[in-house]
Amino acid sequence: MLLLGYGFLAAPYWQFSLLGVVMECLVIYFLFTPQANAFFAVESAGQPIQNEMSGRQIASISLYVASGFWLICGTLVSRFVSQDGFPIIGLVIILQLVLAFILLLIGKLLSPNPNWTKEIGIVLLASAAVAAVFHVALGVFFTSTAFLKSLPPGKPAPEFSYLSAAITVGIMAGFGALLLRVGNRRDRSDRRQARE
């Protein structure tokens, strides 16, 4: 919290601090949920933790997070797609997506959960949500007149394709929602079969 306050005071533009505030609020929210409080209470009492994750689960989640990072980077690069620069930027996007899907695949193979559709759906939806926040923040930042005036002469702000950004985030969110829905149906079906 102290670093966030310092960053807000030291940043040349207040827009720099918006993403930090959003992320800080999310971390604080998740740290004070009843499940988090119960987890830390059990750990501080020295009792064994129920449902402790294995090394495979931790590796799988780490690979899912890394995959989400590359998916977000792919959507951010998609903003720079223009008529002239598409071959190079398109290649960068393809390489980022290939890396993201390789990490997703390895994470899926390591995961002990047989319902991989739900896990990957969550990764895609979370990546789309974070990418949307980044796109909005970039849009606010690059429309700031103070920032545009601070650019050196002869170096205009880069041109963005808001349409390509919206399409990539929308496709990722739609595909993630579809996989999550399929995964939830599969979970309900498995629970029904276990009861019978």
Report the first-to-last Cα separation within the chain, whole angstroms.
51
**Mean per-residue pLDDT of the chain:** 77
The answer to whether 117 and 179 have CB atoms below 8 angstroms apart is yes
Q: Is the pLDDT score of 68 beyond 80?
A: yes
Residues 97 and 11 occupy one common structural domain: no
Residues 20 and 108 occupy one common structural domain: no
Residues 32 and 63 occupy one common structural domain: no
Q: Which of 52, 71, 92 is the last residue of a domain?
A: 52
Domain boundaries, position 23: 1-52
Task: Flag whether the pTM goes above 0.85.
Answer: no
Confidence of residue 156 (pLDDT cuts 50, 70, 90): low
Residues 96 and 166 occupy one common structural domain: yes
- The total number of structural domains in the chain stands at 2
User: Could you tell me how far CA 59 lies from the centroid of its own chain?
Assistant: 17
In this structure, is the dihedral angle defined by the CA atoms of residues 10, 149, 132 and 172, taken in order, positive or negative?
Answer: negative
The answer to whether 137 and 16 have CB atoms below 8 angstroms apart is no
Q: Which of 18, 34, 52 is the last residue of a domain?
A: 52
Residues 44 and 81 occupy one common structural domain: no
Confidence of residue 48 (pLDDT cuts 50, 70, 90): low
Q: Is the pLDDT score of 190 beyond 60?
A: yes
